[in-house]
Structure 1
Amino acid sequence: MSDSINALILEALEDLKARDVAEVDVRDKSDVMDTMIIATGTSNRHIRSMAVHVIEESKKANMAPLGSEGLEGSDWVLVDYGDTVLHVMLPEAREFYDLEKLWSVSPANRTED
């Protein structure tokens, strides 16, 4: 399902003129998701509109999200589809949290004592 939900998310984001959309493969770094999609919006209203549009389009395709956070005036909205997590952020939040860089770091090798 992740390929089809990813395509749906990307198309819905394009519909509402999302900026700097990135699709990040995190399969080798996470046990809880395969893909993060990150997009930038121009205002709180824009990021909310994009997230709501993605949610509505996915529901129409019988792929409703597991949940969402930040729809009430936040500078960062997260929509969880299980294998895929969407982050829609204001430029300042995206720059500050720099999720692409954070998730590009390889996990440290742990040794047992």
Structure 2
Amino acid sequence: MEATATQYPTVSDDPQVQAFYEMCREKGTDHNMAKIFALRDPPGLRTNKTFLANRGDPFDGDDAKAKRCVAAARAGGVNPTGKTYLGGLAKYEGDPKAWIDGKGDVERV
């Protein structure tokens, strides 16, 4: 990490975020907590459980669409059991790549 003029590591290219980080450090906050505060990125929000929580029904109650998407997943070599369908990732309805079981799958797509 680069050091800024005030001896603190650079945690963001955004000057406001960096300034907030440095203010936290000057008030005695340790590096990790100051970084969490400045970036507004607490570690608990990065878990798969929190990422997948409260997603609701991806098919809005449309059983026919759900069956089509499940069939397309299986035809594409993806077992949708235990996975969540994120239509926003799909290039077309039923795209097997839209079935995820965690954030890592989203990052790969």
Q: TM-score range by the shorter chain?
A: under 0.3
Q: Choose between structure 1 and 2: higher strand proportion.
A: 1
Which TM-score applies when normalising by structure 1?
0.25
Structure holding more helix per residue:
2
